[in-house]
Chains A and B, each alone.
Chain A
């Protein structure tokens, strides 16, 4: 028996299934048959036991998960909540119903406050479910943590779930819902976990059943026979040896060079990136320097951080992106005015332009750090939407003394006018996540429109093709630094559309490197044509997959 879904990456896994327990149904609002005191006692015991259980999990998890769980334990012990639960029990409700309603009312309050507090609402939901499970004597919902390796099956995973996932135990992930750009898929790509998403029927697979997950085809084989098990074992071993194969530069089958670069969020990840064969850095996000601070860091503070990163890449290319903030990643000193549509607001280069000294300080710090190292430093501006903005950024960068200044192409307007933008800019780097969001008008953080957020969409690919053509005509490099570059087959399509380098989370490098070696530039261009001719993202993926495996 097999199931079909969308595979993430090219890996294969075999193991026994563990289903993520389904969320508990809402407790019924039936009158209690116990005394008020008995219900109160049940509620108090369950709240205390839940807090203790959460705290114990926090101790085991450690790190940032510990802080999150500690905060959840405080919620379970909260005196205001406990008073609210008691008042509801006094009005005749069961402990389950009173707990459910009390948490729900605080949840609604937090959601109405929005922002950071709104995000804590899911934490409250999780605590509420755990207390109700405790009261009902059933298994708590959430990520299982057994003492053996397993293949996790879930409807979909929320960020809170994935934070607690013990990656040493998870052989593979299968979700019945969600698409190739769901949170689960992004996590799987980042951490190089074998995964298949959108697998209809997966929730029916019994716990303990052995399955084979083949991410390259998206096929789940249930109860495989001896031959299938043997073949899977061989394939898994072969891939393991592939991952251990000497890392080399990115090349196509015809030796066309496609440098493979790393996306990094701080100097901390540099060593791992180099080990995994990154030929440089295609996207260095600088936000970490600015978040959690009330003022912009000084030139000297920034310089030492940049220098630490550049030192890890002697003689190699490092592309630094200027601070990318906006109402979705608010920084009080830059722009904290609330906006109805943060993605369409004063963000990226627009926010820097409104605070030009911050931009100048950052570029100065980058130039000073470059002088201390041998790395080939490029700078780029985030979210550029016009030719005029391009000129604004490149002229300041050149004035400060940076020799290579380019722009990120994330907005359809700049993709459409890439033939003009690239006359001025030294290079373009396509941010496929935002480009997809803006092309399909679908908020990338909103689950209800997640199905639109697919970089295989021919409209997105056509825009990438425009930039590729402009780059080829003007002899300017065109990089990709979005999630799309980490999808091995899509990476080949992007090369066919004219991408000259690919940048991704370091964990994805091995798979993309192996995939590129399979095809010539002509084949990549043929895949690109097939994808562009398709009517939907799904058709594009299917057409290229069929051609690749024929």
Chain B
């Protein structure tokens, strides 16, 4: 299992639109992805799960990916989290 810690860039945190963009990408990854904040961990493909973490701007979160392609998936999802989707 591969892990990476990233800092959330979106100005309003991982709510609504950024959360929706992220969870859809996680669902398409084809391998199980977990997102954790503190000691809480959720399925990254679940918009309700991700929203329930209450992730704010500048929060550190951990992405965990299983499977062969783990690094490529991590690269893609980490890039989404470190983009400010509220700036568009």
Known: A75-B48, A117-B15. 11 other contacts (CB 8 A): A74-B23, A74-B47, A75-B47, A79-B49, A80-B42, A80-B49, A80-B52, A81-B46, A110-B51, A120-B16, A294-B87
Contacts of A117 in B (CB 8 A): 15-16, 51
6 CB-based A-B contacts, threshold 8 Å: A78-B49, A79-B45, A79-B49, A80-B49, A81-B48, A116-B15
Q: Is the CB of A74 within 8 A of B20?
A: yes
Q: Does A109 contact B (CB under 8 A)?
A: yes
Distance (whole angstroms) from the CB of B20 to the closest CB of chain A = 7
Tally B residues with Cβ within 8 Å of A.
20
- Which residue, of B15, B47, B54, has the highest number of chain A Cβ atoms within 10 A? B47
CA distance A463 to B22 in the complex (A): 51
Q: Does A290 contact B (CB under 8 A)?
A: no
Contacts of A109 in B (CB 8 A): 52
Q: Is the CB of A106 within 8 A of B15?
A: no
| Main SS at interface, chain A | helix
Q: Does A221 contact B (CB under 8 A)?
A: no
B interface residue numbers (CB < 8 A to A): 11-12, 15-16, 20, 23-24, 42-43, 45-49, 51-52, 54, 84, 86-87
A interface residue numbers (CB < 8 A to B): 71, 74-75, 78-81, 83, 106, 109-110, 113, 116-117, 120, 294, 332
> Across the two chains, which residue of chain B brings its CB closest to A107?
B48
Distance (whole angstroms) from the CB of A188 to the closest CB of chain B = 30
> Across the two chains, which residue of chain A brings its CB closest to B45?
A79
Distance (whole angstroms) from the CB of B16 to the closest CB of chain A = 6
Q: Is the CB of B48 within 8 A of A294?
A: no
* Contact A106:B52 (CB < 8 A) given known A116-B15, A332-B12: yes
Q: Is the CB of A80 within 8 A of B11?
A: no
Q: Is the CB of A80 within 8 A of B15?
A: no
CA distance A110 to B86 in the complex (A): 20
Q: Is the CB of B11 within 8 A of A78?
A: no
- Identify which of B43, B51, B52, B84 contacts A79 (C-beta below 8 A): B43
Contacts of B51 in A (CB 8 A): 110, 113, 117
